[in-house]
Amino acid sequence: MKKTITFMLMSIFMIFSFGLFVGCQGAETDKGVEIESGTEGLHYQRISGKEEYQVVGIGTAAELDIVIPSKYNGFPVTKIADFAFKGEKNIESVKIFGNIESVGDWAFANCNSLEKVSFLGETKIIGDRCFSECRSLREVNLPDGLEKLESTVFVDCVSLGEVHIPSSVTEIGSQLFHGCYNLSNITIPSGIDMIPHGIFYECKNLKNIIIPENIKTIEDWAFAYCENIETINIPQGVSLIEGGCVFHGCKKLETINVSENNLNYKSEQGILYDKNMGVLIDYPINKKDKIYTMPNSIQIIREKALSGNKYLEEIYLSENLIRIEGGAFNGVENITELKIPANVSIIGPAAFLRCTNLKALFFENPEGWGEYDSEESTLCIGGGDLSSPSSAARCLVEYEEYIYGNGPGWWKRK
């Protein structure tokens, strides 16, 4: 009898221990686990023409921690629908099991209490604004095998500090991390060949960014207002830097370096030019030199190229300069005078906006200038006396202050 009882107790102990072991193992290896019992009460919908289900809403579920199962009613769950959990303010965590092909647009947007999301299957696509304005979101574990992150997926996720984008991703959308103030660490996967428009706009805590060798295009506003970046290194493969606002508002940026093997761009003294030194693209906002003598090969100053630099006191423009684009000197507030070379024939809107100490603009060729409502327009809407340096400054500085909110002001010389 004692032997029987002892045997039964040992058996129970072994079963209990094994259960604990399996439970612990499951906790550590959730990825790839098939889960058929998700959060009770979720609202599912059969996908038309398929033996598959999608999650379409919170239903009657009251749990704070949501589990999306791999199956429902014996059939696979393959999608989380657009807007499925949008605005559900009580959700704190989400686990997504199974092979969810796509997570829809706005699926978890405005879930203000959501702190953690774990993908434990093989999701391929995450839709537009999927987690936008999830202001408590701190941790996202993206799945291996993910292929596409649509635009604005994490816009205004202000608590998000670090994201690892899997190497399987080959496409990322614009403004992906727009307004993620606390994002400090990000890895751009090697399968990406473009850094999209505004992807890191206002990522104010981002300090280090490595641009992979395979990147070919950097779109406008990509790193705008990344206030803690001090140095940017542009690899040899980059063939297109769009617009003039890629690094606009990067308050600590002192140096832009370009690979010597790059065929399209070059850097001299930390300043970004095109390869032929015909275009000034970006003069870093935190470059501390007081004097800048522009190379005489420069013909174009790109939009916002010198914008915001507080250290420059003297600027000597290229004698071959033809075009000054909009906002080129915006906020360069310590220059007091500037000579506009004779070949300049177009000055874009707000070129000298907020140049508060600029009191004299010396036009070497002051004749034939007028203000137009667009670059293409032939209808002159205004003008002024540009032969007087003080009058010219009033026209292009003080008047720019007035018209800035009332439409463009293109100054052109016929």
Give the separation between CA 220 and CA 246, rounded to whole angstroms: 5
pLDDT > 90 fraction of the chain, expressed in percent and rounded: 77
Give the separation between CA 137 and CA 115, rounded to whole angstroms: 4
The answer to whether residue 4 scores a pLDDT higher than 80 is: no
pLDDT mean over 182-193: 90
Strands 369-372, 410-413: parallel, antiparallel or unpaired by DSSP? antiparallel
Give the separation between CA 154 and CA 176, rounded to whole angstroms: 6
Instruction: Check residue 36 and give its pLDDT.
Output: 65
Question: CA nearest 226: which of 178, 158, 169?
Answer: 178
The answer to whether residue 195 scores a pLDDT higher than 70 is: yes
The answer to whether residue 24 scores a pLDDT higher than 50 is: no
pLDDT band at 375 (very low <50, low <70, confident <90, very high): confident
What distance lies between CA 216 and its chain's CA centroid? 17
Instruction: Check residue 158 and give its pLDDT.
Output: 97
Give the separation between CA 349 and CA 329, rounded to whole angstroms: 11
The answer to whether residue 363 scores a pLDDT higher than 50 is: yes
Instruction: Check residue 332 and give its pLDDT.
Output: 97
pLDDT mean over 344-350: 94
Q: What is the mean pLDDT of the chain?
A: 89
Query: What would the two tokens of residue 28 be?
Result: 């550590």
The answer to whether residue 78 scores a pLDDT higher than 70 is: yes
Give the separation between CA 398 and CA 403, rounded to whole angstroms: 9
Instruction: Check residue 29 and give its pLDDT.
Output: 41
The answer to whether residue 208 scores a pLDDT higher than 50 is: yes
Instruction: Check residue 14 and give its pLDDT.
Output: 42
Give the separation between CA 85 and CA 17, rounded to whole angstroms: 38
164 phi and psi angles, rounded to 5 deg: -100, 115
The answer to whether residue 147 scores a pLDDT higher than 90 is: yes
Query: What would the two tokens of residue 141 be?
Result: 């574990």
The answer to whether residue 25 scores a pLDDT higher than 50 is: no
The answer to whether residue 251 scores a pLDDT higher than 50 is: yes
406 phi and psi angles, rounded to 5 deg: -120, 20
Instruction: Check residue 183 and give its pLDDT.
Output: 95
The answer to whether residue 226 scores a pLDDT higher than 70 is: yes
Q: What are the residues whose beta carbons fall under 8 Å from the beta carbon of 71, sequence distance 6 or more?
A: 34, 35, 36, 77, 98
Instruction: Check residue 37 and give its pLDDT.
Output: 78
pLDDT band at 279 (very low <50, low <70, confident <90, very high): very high
Query: What would the two tokens of residue 229 be?
Result: 């970046």
pLDDT mean over 329-346: 96
- The conformational region for residue 143 under phi > 0 = left, psi -120 to 50 = alpha, else beta, is beta
Dihedral of alpha carbons 269, 265, 242, 349, sign: positive
Instruction: Check residue 7 and give its pLDDT.
Output: 43
Q: Between residues 179 and 20, which one has the greater pLDDT? A: 179
- The conformational region for residue 409 under phi > 0 = left, psi -120 to 50 = alpha, else beta, is beta
Report the run of H or E that residue 240 belongs to, with start and end: strand 240-241
**pLDDT tens across 107-118, in order?**
999 999 999 999
Residue count of the chain, please give it: 414
Here the contacts of 231-236 (C-beta below 8 Å, separation 24 or greater) are 231/255, 231/256, 231/257, 232/256, 232/257, 233/257, 233/258, 233/259, 234/258, 234/259, 234/262, 234/265, 234/267, 234/272, 235/211, 235/259, 235/262, 236/260, 236/261, 236/262, 236/263
The answer to whether residue 287 scores a pLDDT higher than 80 is: yes
**pLDDT tens across 33-46, in order?**
566 679 999 999 99
The answer to whether residue 141 scores a pLDDT higher than 80 is: yes
Query: What would the two tokens of residue 339 be?
Result: 């000579």
The answer to whether residue 10 scores a pLDDT higher than 50 is: no
The answer to whether residue 276 scores a pLDDT higher than 90 is: yes
Give the separation between CA 323 and CA 300, rounded to whole angstroms: 5
Instruction: Check residue 259 and give its pLDDT.
Output: 97
The answer to whether residue 150 scores a pLDDT higher than 70 is: yes
Give the separation between CA 354 and CA 352, rounded to whole angstroms: 6
Residue 73 buriedness (CB in 10 A; 0-12 / 13-18 / 19+)? exposed
pLDDT mean over 312-324: 98
Q: What are the residues whose beta carbons fall under 8 Å from the beta carbon of 10, sequence distance 6 or more?
A: none
The answer to whether residue 17 scores a pLDDT higher than 90 is: no
pLDDT mean over 157-170: 94
Question: CA nearest 276: which of 309, 308, 320, 313?
Answer: 320
